[in-house]
């Protein structure tokens, strides 16, 4: 009884529910977002102990300043040709996204997801990796394939689920997969790619290989159990892997606070696991390149994994099934303080005297024409919704090296039923 009386004097418990700062109709104001000056964040040796770099998980690695010049210890000092190639890959990815988005609206495919405003996260990182390093992407890193000069037609065939789709129509559009491209199968189940990447990296180390793995996931997916399992294994076995968290502020309709952003940074999760953590300006292509290059060297020299948080913004909808105007301020993308990654890299090249607006305009047109030509070629192989493009029996293939008897029986039953149905249809 005494205990009950004592408790009656306490205030009632209250459940805290995160709420975004801006909703539809609000004026976006990011003045409270701390953007450190470019070049201010220190760059430790890649062999430094993880507990000597805790500050980097709370700071912000930036290279490009407001004057569009590269400064500070993280400047990778890339030559102009490499910068132009990176810029073109980003522009081509944006053109690809625009074309495929339009194709979905025209009914040529069922689904698409853009990476507008996040192109640097995948492309700059890919330029910093070796060509044979294995990537485990989420559904917004199509730029990896484009940075590796993968066939746009092949990618579109998968989006259209047509007769030339290497996945035979068995994956949701945009969930690419190519072993030759070092691009692991995208999964709609969030965060599964993180433990897969760690496992692949562990196997690479166990075999005495030299290849490392890199994986990407959204900040919302970092709340999944797979994320934490991956971090545990990566830390314990010092797996040669780069774990990228793309903090673009929003999941499909819930803001980053639901994944823990109000409490601390996502890079800070590395501190608890005893691995290196970096927080990077995700719209600064040079910063993304430099951070990935640093983490790759750390992995290749057996110093363990790195968790990189890419601080960026999802400029458009989560997918073609999403309407962001229903849950966020209309001017958020325009007010985002870190700008547009393509414009920032373009302006950097102009500041170097290695580029100009006329060449940018010409390149954008060239990219649009390249994508248009690829789309016409892919559409000759069929589009989604124009009938079955793959033989029925492919439904049972590519699961087992040798098909077990029970699946063989099911396949035969299905084909028999299909023949019977066709015969009935012919007699009508």
Tell me: the pLDDT tens digits for 396-405? 888 899 999 9
Question: What per-residue confidence (pLDDT) applies to 364?
Answer: 98
Q: Concatenated DSSP letters for 214-241?
A: EEEEETGGGGSHHHHHHHHHHHHHT-SE
* 348 counts as catalytic: no
Report the alpha-carbon distance of residue 315 to residue 336 in Å, rounded. Answer: 9
Examine the residue annotation and report whether 211 is marked as an active-site residue of this protein: no
Active-site residue (options: 269, 318, 344, 389): 318
Q: Is the pLDDT of residue 6 over 70?
A: no
Given 140, 269, 314, 344, the catalytic residue: 314
What is the structure's pLDDT at 3? 61
Q: Are 311 and 338 in contact (CB under 8 A)?
A: yes
For Cα atoms 114, 115, 118, give the angle at the middle one, nearest 5 degrees.
165
Predicted local distance difference test score (pLDDT) of residue 387: 79
pLDDT number for residue 253: 87
Span 187-208, average pLDDT: 96
Give the model's pLDDT for residue 424. 82
Identify the burial level of 259 via C-beta atoms within 10 angstroms of its C-beta, where 0-12 means exposed, 13-18 middle and 19 or more buried. Answer: buried
The per-residue pLDDT for 4 is 63
Which DSSP letter does residue 402 get? S
**Segment 215-235 mean pLDDT:** 97
Name the active-site residue from 68, 170, 237, 327: 327
Residue 327 falls in the annotated catalytic set: yes
Rounded mean pLDDT of the chain? 95
| Mean pLDDT within 306-321 | 96
Whether 2 shows a pLDDT value over 60: the answer reads: no
Phi, psi of 72 (to 5 degrees): 90, 175
Confidence of residue 197 (pLDDT cuts 50, 70, 90): very high
Is pLDDT at 238 greater than 80 in this prediction? yes
């Amino acid at each position: 009884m005494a205990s009950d009386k004592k408790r009656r004097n306490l205030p009632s418990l209250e459940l805290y529910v995160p709420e975004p700062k801006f909703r539809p109709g609000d004026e976006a104001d990011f003045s409270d977002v701390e953007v450190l000056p470019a070049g201010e964040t220190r760059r430790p040796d890649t062999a430094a102990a993880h507990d000597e770099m805790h500050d980097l998980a709370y700071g912000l690695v930036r290279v490009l300043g407001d004057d569009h010049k590269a400064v500070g210890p993280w400047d990778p000092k890339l030559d102009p040709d490499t910068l132009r190639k990176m810029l073109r890959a980003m522009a081509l990815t944006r053109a690809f996204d625009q074309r495929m988005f339009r194709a979905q609206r025209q009914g040529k495919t069922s689904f698409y997801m853009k990476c507008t405003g996040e192109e640097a996260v995948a492309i700059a990182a890919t330029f910093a990796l070796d060509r044979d390093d294995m990537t485990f992407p989420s559904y917004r890193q199509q730029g990896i394939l484009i940075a590796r000069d993968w066939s746009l037609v092949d990618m579109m065939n998968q989006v259209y689920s047509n007769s030339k789709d290497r996945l035979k129509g068995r994956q949701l559009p945009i969930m690419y997969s190519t072993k030759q491209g070092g691009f692991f199968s995208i999964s709609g189940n969030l965060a599964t790619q993180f433990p897969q990447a760690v496992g692949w990296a562990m196997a690479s180390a166990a075999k005495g290989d030299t290849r490392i793995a890199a994986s990407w996931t959204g900040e919302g997916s970092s709340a999944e159990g797979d994320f934490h399992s991956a971090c545990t294994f990566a830390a314990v076995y010092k797996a040669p892997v780069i774990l990228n968290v793309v903090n673009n502020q929003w999941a499909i309709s819930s803001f980053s606070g639901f994944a823990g952003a109000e409490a601390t940074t996502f890079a800070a999760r590395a501190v608890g696991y005893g691995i290196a953590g970096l927080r990077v300006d995700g719209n600064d292509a040079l910063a993304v390149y430099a951070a990935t290059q640093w983490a790759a060297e750390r992995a290749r020299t057996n110093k363990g994994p790195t968790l990189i948080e890419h601080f960026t913004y999802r400029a458009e909808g989560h997918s073609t099934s999403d309407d962001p105007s229903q849950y966020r301020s209309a001017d958020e993308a325009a007010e985002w303080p870190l700008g547009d990654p393509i414009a920032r890299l373009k302006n950097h090249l102009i500041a170097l005297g290695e580029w100009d607006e006329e060449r940018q305009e010409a390149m954008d047109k060239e990219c649009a024409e390249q994508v248009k030509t690829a789309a016409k070629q892919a559409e000759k192989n069929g589009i989604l919704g124009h009938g079955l493009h793959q033989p029925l029996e492919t439904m049972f293939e590519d699961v087992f090296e040798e098909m077990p008897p029970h699946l063989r029986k099911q396949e035969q039953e299905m084909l028999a039923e299909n023949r019977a149905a066709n015969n009935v249809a012919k007699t009508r």
